[in-house]
Structures are given as C-alpha cells and as structure tokens.
Amino acid sequence: MSPTLDKIRLAPKVLLHDHLDGGLRAETIVELAREIDYGRLPSTDPDNLRLWFEEAADSGSLERYLETFDHTVAVMQTREALVRVAAECARDLADDGVVYAEVRFAPEQHTTMGLSLDEVVEAVLEGFRLGSQGRGIRVGTLLTAMRHMARSMEIAELAVRYRDVGVVGFDIAGAEAGYPPTRHLDAFEFLQRENAHFTIHAGEAFGLPSIWQAIQWCGADRLGHGVRIIDDITLAGDGSAKLGRLAAYVRDKRIPLEMCPTSNLQTGAAASIAEHPIGLLRRLHFRVTVNTDNRLMSSTSVSQEFAKLVDAFGYDWDDLQWFTVNAMKSAFLPFDERLALINGVIKPGFAQIKWQP
Ligand SMILES: O=c1[nH]cnc2c1ncn2[C@@H]1O[C@H](CO)[C@@H](O)[C@H]1O
Ligand SMILES: [Zn+2]
C-alpha cells in the first residue's frame, strides 16, 4: 500500500534543515506584530497573511524569496517572542511526527531591539526546551551566519560556546550568488579546530563552484540543498549515469544532501517535483535527506514533502524509512545517540506503521 499523508504523519521522522524564522504560525506573527506595533505586515488577517507568504515566496528567485523574511524577523526581536516562536516550532514539528529536528536561525538578525547574541540564543534554547517537553521530540539548534554580512566568526564562536547546552552546529545562509562560502573561511577553520560540526547552504541558487568550495575549501559536513550537484552527472540514453569527480566525491564520502523540494520550486532551483534532482540522486544512492526549509513560506511539513515525493516517484515505506535513517545518520548528535534513535525509535516506528491495516 502506497503511503498516505495521514499515515506518513504517524511515522517517526527526522528533519535536518528547517529555519526558525521560516516556520512561524501566521496567527503568531499577527499577535507579535500587534504587541510591538509593527505596522508593515502585508495583512493582519492570519489566513490572508499565510497566503501572502506562500505567494510572495513563490517568486522564482532566491533573493525575492528571502525578502519575505523581513516580516518574520521583525517580530522576533524580544525574549518573549523568541521563546514563543521556538516553543511553537517544537510543538508543530512534534504534531507532524518529527522525533528529531535540527532547527536553524541567524542570531545576528534578532538584536535590533537590544538583545545581545547570547540572550537571543538563550531565548531560543529555552523555547525549544519548553516546546519539546513531553512531546516525544528532541530539537537541536544550528546557528546561522548571514553570508552577505561579516559576523560569521562571532557566530561560530557563539555556536562553540553553547555547544553543550543545545547548539549542535553552524551554517551560513542568505543570497548565494556573489557570496561564496570561502568568504567565511576563517569561521570554518575555527570550527574545524574546535571539532565542531557545520553545514553550508550550497548549490541552491549557484552551481558546482559553490558546492566545491563548501566541501573542499571549507570542510562542510553536510550541504544545504546541494541540488546543483546534478550538473556534474551525465545521463546516457540507456539511463546509466556517469559521475564527475565532485559528484563522485560527494557520493563516495556519503556527504549528506539536505534537500528541500518545495522550497526549490519556489526559488526556481527546480521546475517541478517530478523533475527535481532528488529522484535521480536517490536512485544513485547519494546520502539524500528530505526537509522543509521554511514551513510557512512553502506551506509545508516533513509529512507533506514526503507525500509529494510518494506522488511523483512512487516511493514506498522502505524509501521513506531510507530517507529518515539517512537523516538520522547525518545528524549533528553523538554517534551512540543517533544509533539509539535509529534502532529504538525509527525502525520500530516504521515497522509498526507499515504493517498496520
Ligand atoms: O533556502 C534558503 N537559502 C538561503 N537562505 C535561506 C533559505 N531559507 C532561509 N534563508 C535565510 O536564512 C536566514 C536564517 O534562518 C533567514 O532569515 C533567511 O534569510
Ligand atoms: Zn535553508
């Protein structure tokens, strides 16, 4: 039986690529805006606002997609707002059946009303703690530095400082074209010396050079998106694939790809789900994982991303479990904890749902 959305929701899922400021509830944005007198929301009706985000993000360009974050970031400037948004994020993910999530955000964007970077991080950690209590979910935090800014070293230091209390890694995000990862080489080298983990948004709005730099110059553990790795794969008429050196390296080293299908359609990185590189990359056994990126802007959830892939590629429960185990193996958690979740939660959970009438 082909997995249905309702049953997919019950399966224990893992999410590695989700932005805190891309997943707010529309009702919450309206309430928070009212509290701080933020008057620039495109609508104060939650339903209209939700639609506005989805339509405005569906722009065909990453740069225009990112403009929608002005509004979510604007209402996430106080401790109370950050705690609330993070707590609701954990609850919404738990309601979708996510058992382990890594949620990222850029602390430097949340200091306009006077919070320090430390206060921002502490508020978000507190929110995740409150929201995940008793919900069967564990949430790790990734700290993001904005690639067009110059604060990556500071944010990397922040990530290391909070590594034992919930921050599990580091990332860079924002417009990709014109801002290569090597701009932040000092931050990545610092993290490597500290034995810390990081992922890099690469190969989303820019091609192979971005992926190559992220891996071979910066030492990224994982790639955010990485869809353009298909530019290094040639398909022959008989369906066989020839991998270039970079694609072969990514596959051989099992470098995880944090793929976000719906987000890619909106930013123009892929034309349709059916044509999304995830189909080929999964067939070639790259370490593919399935993610939401921004649940608000893409009006999605992990379950809905899975359901779309089931529709487009005919995936069965074994495929969905494979994506999930890939994600858990690639998490920035200690090995024994990853193993415990795979063997104690994911495999038994999928087995139960698969055989349920
Ligand atoms: O798909 C994406 N590609 C690049 N940057 C992104 C994407 N989604 C969100 N952000 C950026 O990351 C910041 C911190 O969470 C967001 O404010 C947004 O500017
Ligand atoms: Zn992203």
Tell me what the pLDDT averaged over the chain comes to: 97
Determine the atom of ligand 1 nearest the C-alpha atom of 205: 3
Long-range contacts of 269-273 (CB under 8 A, 24+ apart): 269/62, 269/204, 269/205, 269/225, 269/227, 269/228, 270/227, 272/312, 273/308, 273/309, 273/311, 273/312
Residue spans per domain, the chain: 5-25+78-355
Condensed to tens digits (0 to 9), the pLDDT of residues 147-171 reads 999 999 999 999 999 999 999 999 9
Condensed to tens digits (0 to 9), the pLDDT of residues 81-131 reads 999 999 999 999 999 999 999 999 999 999 999 999 999 999 999 999 999
For the entire predicted model, the pTM comes to 0.98
Topology of 5-25+78-355 in CATH? TIM Barrel (3.20.20)
Ligand 2 centroid distance, CA of 200 (Å): 9
Determine the atom of ligand 1 nearest the C-alpha atom of 66: 19
If DSSP codes are grouped into helix, strand and coil, which group holds residue 15? strand
Q: Which residues contact 120 (CB under 8 A, 6 or more apart)?
A: 82, 107, 110, 111
**Residues contacting ligand 1 via CB (< 6 Å):** 19, 21-22, 62, 66, 69, 73, 104-106, 109, 144, 173-174, 201, 204, 263, 293-294
Q: How far is it, in rounded angstroms, from Cα 305 to Cα 158?
A: 32
**Protein residue closest via CA to atom 11 of ligand 1:** 174
* ipTM score for this prediction: 0.99
Q: Using alpha carbons only, what angle is made at residue 221 by residues 309 and 65, rounded to the nearest 5 degrees?
A: 50
Q: How far is it, in rounded angstroms, from Cα 256 to Cα 331?
A: 9
- Categorize the per-residue pLDDT at 239 as very low, low, confident or very high, splitting at 50, 70 and 90: confident
Segment (H or E) for 100: strand 98-105
Ligand 1 centroid distance, CA of 316 (Å): 31
